[in-house]
């Protein structure tokens, strides 16, 4: 099993930045992909970005390209989502996910999930 714990959410104004962290524990050797999803009230959970644990590739949904950046610290088993130029439409609960394979953008593929951290962007 893999446990994921998110942190770093909060309330910011439009144009400001936040950095989310996702710390993995347990059988972290099994992790191949880590990702972030987000879910706004009344909406489905949506893909934001993923990173291969090897660091060889990242992929972002179009709406966050150029504003959000994924990175990982292998020694700390932690993935970071740096979010710049935040917009009110980025407001959502952000969830970290992990998978043992080359998972992509589909919610249902990921094996492990964190509890989420709330990001609220005021206009």
Residue-wise pLDDT tens digits, 21-42 = 999 999 999 999 999 999 999 9
More confident residue, 53 or 110: 110
With 80 as the cut, is the pLDDT of residue 54 above it?
Answer: yes
Check residue 119 and give its pLDDT. Answer: 98
pLDDT per position as a tens digit, 70-111: 999 999 999 999 999 999 999 999 999 999 999 999 999 999
Q: What is the phi-psi region of residue 66: left when phi exceeds 0, alpha when psi lies from -120 to 50, beta otherwise?
A: left
Check residue 56 and give its pLDDT. Answer: 77
Average pLDDT, the chain: 96
Contact criterion met (CB below 8 Å) for 98 and 67 = no
Which 3 state secondary structure label does DSSP give 90?
Answer: helix
Mean pLDDT of 110-114: 97
Check residue 40 and give its pLDDT. Answer: 96
Cα distances from 47 to residues 76, 103, 110, in angstroms, run 24, 11, 11
| Pairing, β 58-60 against β 2-7 | unpaired
What are the start-end ranges of the H helices in 18-121?
none
Contact criterion met (CB below 8 Å) for 37 and 93 = no
């Amino acid at each position: 099993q893999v446990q994921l714990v998110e942190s770093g959410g909060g309330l910011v104004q439009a144009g400001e930045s936040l950095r989310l962290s996702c710390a993995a524990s347990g059988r972290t050797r099994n992790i191949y992909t880590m990702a972030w999803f987000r879910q706004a009230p009344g909406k489905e959970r949506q893909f934001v970005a993923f990173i291969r644990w090897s660091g060889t590739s990242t992929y972002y949904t179009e709406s966050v390209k150029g504003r959000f950046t994924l990175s990982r610290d292998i020694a700390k088993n932690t993935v970071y989502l740096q979010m710049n130029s935040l917009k009110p439409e980025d407001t959502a609960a952000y969830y970290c996910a992990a998978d043992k394979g080359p998972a992509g953008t589909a919610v249902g593929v990921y094996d492990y999930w964190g509890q989420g951290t709330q990001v609220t962007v005021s206009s």
